[in-house]
Amino acid sequence: MTDKSKPKTHTFDASGRKLGRISTEIAEKLMGKDRVDFTRRKAPNVSVQVENAADLDISDKKRNNKTYVSHSGYPGGQKEVTADTVIKKHGYGRLIRKAVYGMLPDNKLRDTMMKNLHVSE
């Protein structure tokens, strides 16, 4: 699906940036929408690195009110977790990954694109 040449690397500094704003830029790079050879059926050969994820600008209201919902598939298996809990348990990188994952197209290339995202706290 991807070409075997050396991947083009994009680096983002997350310090002082809003979560949604930086996530849209990352998703655009991972999809290859900024490239001349963009096609929907191929994952581009790009690598995206996010640095200083712990310095994201997340308001206290968003930390306490933003919920992430998951379901186990069993009756009564729905779980809701706040953003603050996710940060304490998994770190800021998980928030960036969840935001970008939701912005990528829901097809079989999504996992390939997500493998090209590297987040460092």
Q: Helix/strand/coil (H, E, C) string of the chain?
A: CCCCCCCEEEEEECCCCCHHHHHHHHHHHHHCCCCCCCCCCCCCCEEEEEECHHHCCCCHHHHHHCEEEEECCCCCCEEEEEHHHHHHHHCHHHHHHHHHHHHCCCCCCHHHHHHCEEECC
Token pair, residue 56, equals 């994201």
CATH number listed for the domain at residues 8-58+91-119: 3.90.1180.10
Give this prediction's pTM. 0.91
Quick: pLDDT tens for 34-62.
999 999 999 999 999 999 999 999 999 99
Domain ranges of the chain: 8-58+91-119
